[in-house]
Every structure is written in structure tokens, then in C-alpha cells.
Amino acid sequence: MERIELQVIAAVSNNREHLDDDFWGAVISKITLSESLSPDLLIGLDTFSHVEIMFVFHRQDPDKKVSDTRHPRRNPDWPKSGLLAQRSSYHPNPIGITIAKIVSVKERVLTVQGLDAVNGTPIMDIKPVFREFCPTEIKQPQWVSELMKSYWS
């Protein structure tokens, strides 16, 4: 398999240390750009309401093997699904992507609400959310709504 190399552009600071699955909605995170990058990269970001944050699950155990299919959150009431049909941290590449609300942008610090990344998480990219990138209708199985009912509350 071909390898690529990415640069960490920022890091997360917040009060979330535990890798819990739920209750991310009120979490406020400061994303501080690396010193090697210009704070000018953030200019104009404050004109958007939300950003997509791409990050690495850096505390994931690289030796932990997860099968290609499993019940989401190991709940036997939900259908066994392929790992790529789940938003799991155990994908072949430990990458997370989340849409978070912009709270403020000051110098080299972007403050967001609702980022489901723990303190110290390395950030790989930040992109403004364009509504035109989302289709008008989202289709998903019922188990997803059940799984997500406490995720943001």
C-alpha cells in the first residue's frame, strides 16, 4: 500500500481527557496553529459559522485489531456492519473528521464548540463548511440515530 506523509498543522487544547463516546456538544476546544505556520492562514475563517476538522486518533492503540465487520459499539441490537460503514476510530487510517461550530478566531487560535477530539489531538487540516457540499437529503439507517442520541447532548 502506498504511503503518504502529512504535516500536523495544529493541536487541540480542551478539558476532555477521556475517550468517551458521548456528550461532545458542549466541549469547547482551542485549536492552536503550529509555530511553523503563519496565523494569516486563519484570516477570513471568522466569516463562517462552522469548520470541518480533520485530526488523528493519536491515542488509539496501533496494536489493537478490530475485525472488518462488527456491531456498532458492540451492540447486538444493531446490524453487523463493515468498518467503513461506521464512524469508528479503528479505520485503516486513524483519522477523524468532525464539523464544529466556530466560537472565535484570534491570531493563531481557532476556538470551536463540539469537536469530538481529546486534549492534545493533532490536527491535520481545517476547512470551512460550505452548505453546497452537503446534499439536500441524507440517507442513513435507523441505528445511527439511536447511536448518536447522546453524542452531542
- Give 96-137 pLDDT, tens digit per residue: 999 999 999 999 999 999 999 999 999 999 999 998 888 778
Residues 34-44: tens digit of each pLDDT:
999 999 999 99
**Domain total of the chain:** 1
For the stretch 26-62, pLDDT in tens is 889 999 999 999 999 999 999 999 999 999 988 777 7
| Cβ atoms within 10 Å of 19's Cβ, excluding its own | 11
pLDDT reading at 7 higher than 90: yes
Instruction: Flag whether 112 is in a domain.
Output: yes
Does residue 111 form part of some domain?
yes
Q: Is residue 58 part of a domain?
A: yes
**Residue 134 forms part of a structural domain:** yes
Q: Has residue 19 been placed in a domain?
A: yes
Domain span at residue 19 reads 10-148
CA distances from 153 to 24, 27, 58 (A): 7, 10, 24
Q: Hey, what's the cell of 36?
A: 511553523
pTM: 0.86
- Contact criterion met (CB below 8 Å) for 11 and 119: no
User: Which pLDDT belongs to residue 76?
Assistant: 93
Residue 87 belongs to domain with CATH number: 2.40.30.70
Residue 3 is assigned to a structural domain of this protein: no
**Among all chains, which residue has been given the C-alpha cell 461506521?**
86
The verdict on residue 115 lying in a domain is yes
Tell me the range of 62-71, 74-83, 113-122, 141-150 where mean pLDDT is highest.
113-122
Q: Could you tell me which residues are beta bridge partners of residue 125?
A: 54
106: left (phi over 0), alpha (psi -120 to 50) or beta: beta
